């Protein structure tokens, strides 16, 4: 299910930054280092355009894809012990019920105060996509971050190479006219490369553990309580690294995706 369009300042900032970095990379960095009419220039321009296209397309999917809504007809099967539906939210032992949405919540679903509804396998609400990251759009969100890291590092390498080439050719007057573009691009690319690389590493860790960001923070407290009681805490959805990757990234049967990923 697709979401409707609504204006978002953070999304506008991201789109503007992507457009600026793409223009500078292709028409300044590549052109001044290799020249756009050379084979090396064409190859780099095509390669960077491909990475940028994958980044933008997955970003768009992450924005407009519904993150996963809880079916209004969902009811927990309290008689089936094989289904991990007996997840307890309160000490009283009640099944997970959302007072705001007025329906039961499946395991790993959480209510988002911004979206004002329950999200399946909710990871977090991201202002940069103006959407929740959940069951349906987690994969495209992860791929977007991956391509964004590649694009930022690629652009940064081209920026440094272009500057080095200018200094070797001693084209000071020509370089001065592009100084603002170099400075702004550097101020964008360096922190973005670091921040996005950290974000990518974080989600690689979560995927290997089959956790969401919410579950990680809940698990820290659960681990502390388990150690306090002399027990060993184990994340209930951890199936092993390979199974975790295939469960989160690839498509599986609906029930397994709903309850185990």
Q: Which residues are catalytic?
A: 126
For residues 27 and 34, give the distance between their C-alpha atoms in angstroms, rounded to a whole number.
Answer: 11
Structure tokens at 218: 């809940």
The helix/strand/coil state of 132 is strand
Half-sphere exposure of residue 150, counting CA atoms within 13 Å on the CB side? 16
For residues 206 and 139, give the distance between their C-alpha atoms in angstroms, rounded to a whole number.
Answer: 12
Structure tokens at 229: 């009681």
Please list the residues that pair with 119 across neighbouring strands: 69, 110
Residues 239, 247 contacting (CB under 8 angstroms): yes
For residues 242 and 215, give the distance between their C-alpha atoms in angstroms, rounded to a whole number.
Answer: 19
């Amino acid at each position: 299910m697709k979401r409707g369009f609504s204006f978002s300042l953070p999304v506008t900032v991201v789109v503007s930054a992507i457009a600026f970095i793409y223009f500078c990379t292709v028409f300044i960095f590549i052109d001044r280092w290799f020249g756009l009419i050379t084979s090396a220039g064409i190859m780099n321009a095509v390669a960077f355009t491909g990475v940028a296209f994958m980044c933008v397309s997955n970003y768009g999917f992450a924005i407009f894809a519904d993150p996963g809504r809880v079916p209004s007809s969902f009811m927990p099967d309290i008689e089936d012990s094989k289904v991990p539906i007996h997840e307890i939210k309160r000490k009283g032992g009640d099944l997970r019920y959302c007072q705001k949405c007025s329906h039961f919540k499946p395991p790993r679903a959480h209510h988002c105060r911004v979206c004002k509804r329950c999200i399946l396998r909710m990871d977090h609400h991201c202002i940069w996509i103006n959407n929740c990251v959940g069951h349906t759009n987690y994969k495209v969100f992860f791929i977007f971050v991956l391509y964004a890291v590649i694009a930022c590092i690629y652009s940064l390498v081209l920026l440094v190479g272009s500057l080095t080439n200018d200094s070797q050719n001693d084209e000071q007057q020509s370089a001065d006219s592009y100084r603002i573009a170099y400075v702004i691009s550097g101020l964008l690319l360096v922190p973005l490369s670091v921040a996005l690389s950290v974000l990518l590493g974080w989600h690689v860790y979560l995927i290997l553990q089959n956790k969401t960001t919410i579950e990680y923070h809940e698990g820290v407290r659960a681990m502390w309580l388990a150690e306090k009681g002399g027990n060993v805490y184990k994340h209930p959805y951890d199936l092993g690294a390979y199974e975790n990757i295939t469960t989160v990234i690839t498509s599986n049967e609906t029930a397994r995706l709903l309850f185990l990923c």
